[in-house]
Structure 1
Amino acid sequence: MNPLLSAIGSKLEAISVPVQLEMPDGTKVGAADPRVRFVARDKGALAHLAAGEVGVLGQDYVEGRVDIQGNMHDVMRAAAEMLPGSPVDAARGGWLTELVRRVVSVWRHSVERDAKQIEFHYDLSDDFYALWLDPRRVYSCAYYRTPEMNLAQAQEAKLDHICRKLRLHEGERFLDVGAGWGGLLLWAAENYGVDATGITLSRNQHAYVNRLIEQKGLQGRVRMELLDYRKLDESRPFDKISSVGMFEHVGRAQLPEYFAKLRRLLRPGGLVMNHGITAGGVHNAELGNGMGEFIEKYIFPGGELTHISHVQEALALGGLEATDVENLRPHYARTLWAWSDTLEARLDEAAKLLSGEAGARSLRAYRLYLAGCAMAFEHGWIALHQIVAQHLATGRSDELDLPADLAYPWRRDYMYAPKA
């Protein structure tokens, strides 16, 4: 056996899940009764397998150079054990590295590029997303208030969790930045009586939510605008602002100005709730072993990971004070597995919606993306943080007395007490 095949055979034997590799010539290496099979159609994929470059191997799968067979839970367990080390290990880098990262971040997040990047992902196919999301099409981390909750229940719990953190009240002006298919926007309007404004860069989402607003008779009190956050009017401040699954698209170099923009849109004493994916490593800009490149190429072009410590620094530079920080990492792992399991159960329907070779590539990419991200959250390579923030401290001595013009009560009881 040649050295490459010997290395692959040793790697497969060390994996706790029975794995088999079938070579382009039909030769088989590994378990005789496998739960995961790699069928190589291109010898180049063999080197990626031997090196544990699972993200690059994922690209081989999307492009048809290798087939991956087996339950996605088993596939991801095998992938995690194939890695040569942690994908969040990264050197700090010198001043030149940081300068280059900043320049690239600024360049890739112009108004025009952001619009194209959002369109690439969110306008793939509304019907495709509807196959595996909950009925409200909430495309962000759910909140499993009890472990027995199903996905739809956990998503409604998440929407309410956000509304309660923001202490929404009837008649308040509420802004949802990156409102998606309108789940939070409509939940807040229907359950908390707010005057709600949402923005998105996705034309599909914009049209879909406006149809829902009309169907529900919420015109005049709820609106969805096709608008970049940088173009929001600052002349009429909002009482409360949410940003869910949005700041990952902003770019690390733009985060201080992003939070400064939210502060200018917020009335003094109001609250901002930022909900988004954060890096597990302090210094890495993306996951290693090819995983970051995979997501950039096939799923989220322009997405950038930022550690929670850097997020809080940017928040402070933007003139906001963090009042509450919560890590929902295991909640997102369970959410992603729910999405992945549903997609796997409906692959035939998905294949009809994403037709042609381009559609087939997208489907293969999403299969790996959903399951791979679930694995990444389980291992702590990435996390999900909710941060509640307000304008910088006022110097007032009555903050603990619940004055009417200050929204944050400085006690967590309000988030978890039963609803009245």
Structure 2
Amino acid sequence: MNALFSQAERQLATLPIPIQLTMPDGTRLGAANPRVGFVLKSLRSLSHLVRGRIGPIGEDYVEGRLDIVGSMRDLMGAAAALLKDSPVNGERAGFLSEIGRRAASVMHHTLDRDARQIQFHYDLSDDFYGLWQDPRRVYSCAYYRDPAMTLAQAQEAKLDHICRKLKLQQGERFLDIGAGWGGLLLWAAENYGVDATGITLSKNQHAHVNRLIQEKGLHDRVRMLLLDYRKLDDAEPFDKIASVGMFEHVGRAQLASYFSKIRRLLKPGGLAMNHGITAGGTYNAQLGSGMGDFIEKYIFPGGELVHVSKVLETLSDGGLEAVDVENLRPHYARTLWAWSDGLEAKLDEAYRILPGEQGAKSVRAYRLYLAGCAMAFEQGWISLNQVLCQRQGIFDGTQLDNPPGQAYPFRRDYIYR
């Protein structure tokens, strides 16, 4: 035991932020004036700290086996320094490992299981999410076109950025796959005059968006369906499609068929935007040091990330052509810190909205999840890529601005003009 204490003291001395550990018997190690404090109720938590096992430390906090004192920003500064190795180190999976990984992905993404997994996360509580999201409840990476923007302004800039990239036009049929609380769906309908269809597997989101559609008098050209993307009828293809923050739930084994479905849902020459979180490492199946396991258990069951190179590969396998790729990683770090700061400012209210022990566990999990993901985007362990793609149409190479049979002009200036 003394050896473990000595190891902990040596490790604390190397951290960039003063930290103090309080043992179950009241013994204190580390800084006399700490910015972050860990109050341990079990020496097992001390072992996790010494080994740099970030995920198990988080689980100990959620389950009440340790308390954390201090700001989430300071905590994450210490957490990054605790790691022994990069959480995105990994090697290409062997043949048998890849077969096992693929089989697990298929098993985790049946129609019924996906619906349960989505509802586990998104149906937690609309009021809870409303505490720290912007007024439109846009639950994806914002776009800080101007560094002085507020979160709400940056979310509107992101919505418009996507609509511009898609070249949305009055009267076009637009599909939003995984439409969330309706931010993009309604923005596109109100500002670009499209006929818009959104789908979700969240019962709360479905009810919320349909209320907004009625309140705004948009029921004649906007609809929100409680439907899996695999069940969409592709007999009447759409002009434009967006999928924002959804493909992370699809599963690696299903990505090619997912993009193939988007191709069938899209008119020849039409544009689709896939906006989603991607892995920072080329081969790692999830974040190491237990962080991926923590997210799987408490936040996003069934979530799977792939590197952007894999996105482009499976997109091509699905019959689509990538025409523009934009990395918004720093924007997501700032978005997540805004969400984290918003939750930290309203913790008492959060605990009232999510009462009881299970509710308290959820609040503690989200405190770590939001701040931890902000750190992960800052560190480059995960990323965010917007991939604009098209279902190829006829193109003779002589007309760039309005090529017949396709929407993309093969010049970026229309997006930023």
Q: TM-score, normalised by structure 1?
A: 0.98
1:10 deviation in Å?
1.0
Per-residue CA deviation, residues 62-97 of structure 1 (Å, 9 max, x unaligned), is 000011110111000000000001000012121111
**Separation of aligned partners in 2, 1:379 and 1:129:** 25
1:245 deviation in Å?
0.2
Match of 2:222 in 1: 222
**Which letter does structure 2 place at the counterpart of 1:323?**
V
Match of 2:148 in 1: 148
Match of 1:68 in 2: 68
- Aligned CA RMSD, in angstroms, stands at 0.9
Match of 1:264 in 2: 264
Change in 2 beyond 3 A, CA 1:115/1:233 = same
Match of 1:122 in 2: 122
Match of 2:33 in 1: 33
Query: Identity of counterpart residues, as a percentage?
Result: 69
What is the DSSP-based 3-state SS (H/G/I as helix, E as strand, rest coil) of the residue aligned with 2:50? helix
**Separation of aligned partners in 2, 1:151 and 1:339:** 9
**Separation of aligned partners in 2, 1:100 and 1:321:** 29
Per-residue CA deviation, residues 250-278 of structure 1 (Å, 9 max, x unaligned), is 00110000000000000001000000000
Match of 2:347 in 1: 347
Report the more deviating stretch, 38-47 or 220-229. 38-47
Q: Is the 8 A contact 1:336 1:373 kept in 2?
A: yes
**Separation of aligned partners in 2, 1:399 and 1:261:** 29
Runs of 4+, deviation exceeding 4 Å = none
Per-residue CA deviation, residues 301-345 of structure 1 (Å, 9 max, x unaligned), is 000010000010000000000000000000000000000001000
What is the DSSP-based 3-state SS (H/G/I as helix, E as strand, rest coil) of the residue aligned with 2:171? coil
1:397 deviation in Å?
3.1
Match of 1:301 in 2: 301
Match of 1:414 in 2: 414
Match of 2:162 in 1: 162
Match of 1:198 in 2: 198
What is the DSSP-based 3-state SS (H/G/I as helix, E as strand, rest coil) of the residue aligned with 1:348? helix
Match of 1:85 in 2: 85
**Separation of aligned partners in 1, 2:392 and 2:257:** 15
1:393 deviation in Å?
6.1
1:3 deviation in Å?
1.0
Change in 2 beyond 3 A, CA 1:401/1:70 = closer
Per-residue CA deviation, residues 81-120 of structure 1 (Å, 9 max, x unaligned), is 0000100001212111111110000100000000000000
Match of 2:108 in 1: 108
**Separation of aligned partners in 2, 1:106 and 1:6:** 46
Q: TM-score, normalised by structure 2?
A: 0.99
Match of 1:211 in 2: 211
Q: Is the 8 A contact 1:188 1:194 kept in 2?
A: yes
Match of 1:42 in 2: 42
**Separation of aligned partners in 2, 1:404 and 1:65:** 63
What is the DSSP-based 3-state SS (H/G/I as helix, E as strand, rest coil) of the residue aligned with 2:400? helix
**Separation of aligned partners in 2, 1:390 and 1:327:** 18
How many residues are matched?
A: 417
Match of 1:245 in 2: 245
1:58 aligns with 2:58: yes
**Separation of aligned partners in 1, 2:252 and 2:29:** 44
Map 1:376-387 → 2, pairs under 5 A? 376-387=376-387
The gaps in structure 1 that reach 5 residues or longer are none
1:179 deviation in Å?
0.1
**Separation of aligned partners in 2, 1:292 and 1:138:** 24
Match of 1:327 in 2: 327
1:403 deviation in Å?
2.8
Q: Is the 8 A contact 2:394 2:406 kept in 1?
A: no
Match of 1:7 in 2: 7
What is the DSSP-based 3-state SS (H/G/I as helix, E as strand, rest coil) of the residue aligned with 1:169? coil
The gaps in structure 2 that reach 5 residues or longer are none
**Separation of aligned partners in 1, 2:107 and 2:393:** 34
**Which letter does structure 1 place at the counterpart of 2:45?**
A
**Separation of aligned partners in 2, 1:343 and 1:244:** 23
Q: Is the 8 A contact 2:394 2:404 kept in 1?
A: no
**Which letter does structure 2 place at the counterpart of 1:198?**
G
What is the DSSP-based 3-state SS (H/G/I as helix, E as strand, rest coil) of the residue aligned with 1:400? coil
**Separation of aligned partners in 2, 1:329 and 1:257:** 26
**Which letter does structure 2 place at the counterpart of 1:82?**
L
Per-residue CA deviation, residues 370-413 of structure 1 (Å, 9 max, x unaligned), is 00000000000000000000014645334525135311010000
Match of 1:182 in 2: 182
**Separation of aligned partners in 2, 1:270 and 1:115:** 29
**Separation of aligned partners in 2, 1:196 and 1:188:** 8
**Separation of aligned partners in 2, 1:320 and 1:226:** 26
**Separation of aligned partners in 2, 1:313 and 1:338:** 33
**Which letter does structure 1 place at the counterpart of 2:244?**
V
Match of 1:366 in 2: 366
Q: Is the 8 A contact 1:321 1:393 kept in 2?
A: no
1:297 deviation in Å?
0.1
**Separation of aligned partners in 1, 2:398 and 2:243:** 29
**Separation of aligned partners in 2, 1:91 and 1:259:** 26
**Which letter does structure 1 place at the counterpart of 2:291?**
M
Report the more deviating stretch, 399-408 or 2-11. 399-408
